[in-house]
Amino acid sequence: MLYLVRMTVSPPYGMPPEEFERLKNQEKEVGIRLQREGVWKHLWRVAGAYANVSIFEVDSPEQLHAAIGSLPFFPFLSVEATPLVAHPSSINPADNPALKEEMA
Ligand SMILES: O=C(O)CC1=CCC(=O)O1
Residue nearest to atom 7 of ligand 1 (CA): 31
- Average the pLDDT over 75-103 and give the result: 90
Ligand 1 pocket test: pick from 36, 71, 80 the residue with the most ligand atoms within 8 Å of its Cβ.
71
Extended strands (E) in the chain: 2-9, 40-45, 51-57, 77-84
pLDDT of residue 84: 97
Domains of the chain by range and CATH?
Answer: 2-103 (3.30.70.1060)
Is the pLDDT at 66 greater than 90? The verdict is yes
76 lines ligand 1 (CB under 6 A): no
**Dihedral Cα 32, 36, 42, 45, nearest 10 deg:** 10
| pLDDT single digits (tens) 14-33 | 999 999 999 999 999 999 99
Q: How far is the CA of 54 from the centre of ligand 1 (A)?
A: 10
Helix (H, G, I), strand (E, B) or coil at 14: coil
Which of 59-63, 67-71, 97-101 comes out lowest in average pLDDT? 97-101
pLDDT at 61: 98
Look up the ipTM and state it.
0.96
Q: Nearest residue CA, atom 8 of ligand 1? A: 28
CA R_g for the chain = 16
